[in-house]
Structure 1
């Protein structure tokens, strides 16, 4: 059997072209976002196989993820890289004192993704094909051009450009302290894009229950694909009440950090669209557990962020999913996803199909090498 011989961990500070603001900034709960902290894991085996995985943190948590990964990664040395499920459990128990969600499992996620990438590369298959793909392309919508710091004219220009590049839908941010500002922006975007373009909105958890009900009713006229995070991410009962009262689908899940937290949303019937994030819930191993539960409840899957990972996972989901298009991570990799006709198309490259760029390596701020003793 092949054995894991080395693990390289690195933190990369990815600068964003402009400071990003959503509703959480306008309500004073967060600062504008200027960078994303990436955690990369590169795993090598005695037989010469390699795999690369990554996770990320926004605004805070990057150093914590790196520190935890450095502590637990030695437990992989000498192990069979095929045993991904067992290794996930081993890593969880290695850091059991800090729990099974949050920064601890987000550190595991980068290692878990690297193991899956290694397995698919060794098989000579794209990850989606290894998992059992239902399709070779996935519907995609853009989020990166629709933030609240941008004037509505800029949002429309961004949307028009992304649609011309092949993106299939547009999501814009709402949750402005003035609800009329939100409605005016949505009305203008819908008018300029037309009724045929799939349009979503995202309140980033900034409405209370009465506001969400009022805004949900007011937004019905725009034929939205979904309303995302109208309430606090952990308010399963409130989301369920909203989902029952509106025609527009309710979407949530990106801020949750475990399968169990998502299961609570599903148990309450709180969402029509489930939005897990593999790096946030512990990696691909955990994502597959959640996807099986979501499929049993006939939910639409729309993974959050990290499309380089999620296009593979969405392609392996039975029901037609969506994948979120962000261009923020482009500088980190040598490859670009193929986007046309409203869909992201799987590459034929094995594994995730991405290679860390030299530019990304130049942004490295922390690095650790774990070897066979």
Structure 2
């Protein structure tokens, strides 16, 4: 990422309508109905996940246009994202909401001492996404159309029905329901300390799908290189759409060796927190499918930079989580992508995304096309406002 001094010049006159007058931050705790466990729990590295903490940003300009964006954290980090956002959000006041890339740089410099990845850029992501939502709404276009969509729908697959805590029979029932709901692929979790458990679950789901639906597996970084190589060879017979996160997220060389030796595509990237970290995967040829998460890498501005690099290097795309954001970004990717279907976030939004014939359809609503439910407001544990009639923050 370049932060050359030329990008910091004083901007020109701000048009009266697009001037940012109000910013609101909200920390929202979404409880999960059932504690969730993947391989990281079974290897003892994490406890079951019981909630997801969201950082929502709402922005309003002088002409009354509004945008909303969000970031999130699982298990830990939510209060930290909110705290960092609260320290820098006032930097947006008085700025032209159209100058999104410049504002990303301004916000990064406002918190430069904590770096350009991780929690700091995740806090900025919520504001960046809100600015893109606002810009699309001002144009009266879905965000995908503002960016330049290649398609009106995107292949989608489900993850939430295949976690390791879920009994196999329930996984099979979930797979049936997923396909019936028009979702086009099934991903199940692997990485259990007993590889026989993984293989029996994969075999059972593969048989249930009868080869008619793409199947993916996700080890959540819990294999070492030898195990990943051995399991990858055994899994070749199932013609998987991909093996996800077989190794530690930062092991670019290990992923590259695995990708070169297996026919099954390797997918990874969701845990990385900057474009620079993803570039290490790309330059090492460590993935066939890259899986960035816009809220984790700094928002839509950074996602677009990464997408250009990924496309230039011939990679397929399957963004992680947050389908409400990633549907639009995947629709604007030149190569046919995938988007991940999670129903966890549905209590937060009044709207629903439509799926049919294996694809998720871009809504015709302007921007991201989402509004917060009363329940999301009720789950709010902290807020901070800047500008507006109260001109306060706390």
Equivalence for 2:114: 98
Alignment of 1:47-58 (within 5 A): 47-58=63-74
Equivalence for 1:84: 100
Per the TM alignment, residue 193 of structure 1 is displaced from its structure 2 partner at its CA by 1.2
Per the TM alignment, residue 329 of structure 1 is displaced from its structure 2 partner at its CA by 0.2
Equivalence for 2:243: 227
Alignment gaps of 5+ in structure 1:
none
Counterpart CA distance in 1 for 2:213 and 2:237 is 14
Choose which of 383, 386, 390 in structure 2 pairs with 1:367. 383
Q: Deviations over 1:52-88 (max 9, x none)?
A: 0001000000000000000000000000000000000
Counterpart CA distance in 2 for 1:354 and 1:72 is 25
Counterpart CA distance in 1 for 2:141 and 2:210 is 40
Equivalence for 1:153: 169
Q: Deviations over 1:181-218 (max 9, x none)?
A: 10011001101111121000000000000000000000
Counterpart CA distance in 1 for 2:61 and 2:103 is 15
Choose which of 250, 273, 295 in structure 2 pairs with 1:279. 295
Residues 1:43 and 2:52 aligned together: no
Residues 1:338 and 2:354 aligned together: yes
Counterpart CA distance in 2 for 1:244 and 1:52 is 41
Alignment of 1:298-317 (within 5 A): 298-317=314-333
Per the TM alignment, residue 222 of structure 1 is displaced from its structure 2 partner at its CA by 0.5
Counterpart CA distance in 1 for 2:206 and 2:131 is 43
Say which SS state the counterpart of residue 369 (structure 1) adopts: strand
Give me the TM-score of the superposition, normalised by structure 2.
0.94
Counterpart CA distance in 2 for 1:15 and 1:9 is 19
Residues 1:257 and 2:312 aligned together: no
Equivalence for 2:258: 242
- Note the aligned Cα RMSD (angstroms): 0.6
Alignment gaps of 5+ in structure 2:
1-14
Counterpart CA distance in 1 for 2:245 and 2:214 is 18
Equivalence for 1:110: 126
Per the TM alignment, residue 115 of structure 1 is displaced from its structure 2 partner at its CA by 0.1
Choose which of 273, 285, 304 in structure 2 pairs with 1:269. 285
Choose which of 75, 81, 84 in structure 1 pairs with 2:91. 75
Equivalence for 2:143: 127
Counterpart CA distance in 2 for 1:130 and 1:153 is 43
Counterpart CA distance in 1 for 2:256 and 2:279 is 13
